[in-house]
Amino acid sequence: MKNIKPLLFAGLMAPGLALADASDYSYIEGTYLQGDISDVEIDGYAIEASLEFVDRILAVASFTDLGLDDDTAGADLEGDIQAFGLGYIFGRNDTASVYGTASYIEYDVRGRLGAFTFADDSDGVQFELGARMNLSPEAELYVAVKHTDLGQGDEETTPGVGLVYRFLPALSGTLTYDRNSEDDIMGLGLRLTF
């Protein structure tokens, strides 16, 4: 996590970031993730896709694979998160847009501590509400809140912020940061817009 914090800060504070297209909702993105979940250091990757298949209507999908950041002898932890759903763009203009999504989400966690192994599968729903704002011709800032409900009182709300910087007409770099009461995850990725 220490590696990504300086990059996130530099990206947010870089000079010249003062019109990316906040209306591009058709993309695929790959992200390296690093952070803490319940005081356990993790890293992994995420693949996210969004497609505006009808004016203002989105199809969204994501896959996340996380594991322990270090190789502690006798311990292993892996988790997969899969989600797919639909979204709607509530409003947009030349400089900003507001969107919401509703997704089915599935968690698959496996672990080993010495001779003890465990596995847990959960599923539920995730709702996201966000806004995307242009900062310059190349840069876009977004803020979002995700609420995940896995049933039986297992709920969490996670606010997040990110910066998308367009290097080429269809290729952008991304910096993300999500945090709730127990989790702190940063990401560095590439987005291909189509």
Domain containing 104 — which CATH number? Answer: 2.40.160.20
Domain enclosing residue 104, as ranges: 4-193
Q: Taken in order 80, 64, 142, 53, is the CA torsion positive or negative?
A: negative
* Residue 96, helix vs strand vs coil: strand
Instruction: Give the global pTM.
Output: 0.82
Split into its structural domains, the chain has a count of 1
Q: Kindly report the number of other CB atoms within 10 A of residue 126's CB atom.
A: 21
- Give the pLDDT of residue 193: 95
Res 72 pLDDT > 80? no
Cα 155 → chain centroid = 18
Spatial CA neighbour of 175 closest among 147, 125, 135, 126: 135
Give the pLDDT confidence of 81-93 residue by residue, as tens digits. Answer: 999 999 999 999 8
- Give the pLDDT of residue 12: 45
Give the pLDDT confidence of 120-173 residue by residue, as tens digits. Answer: 899 999 999 999 999 998 999 999 999 999 888 789 999 999 999 999 999 999
Spatial CA neighbour of 53 closest among 89, 22, 3: 89
Gap between the Cα atoms of 20 and 163, Å rounded: 11
Give the pLDDT confidence of 96-126 residue by residue, as tens digits. Answer: 999 999 999 999 988 877 778 888 899 999 9
- Give the pLDDT of residue 19: 45
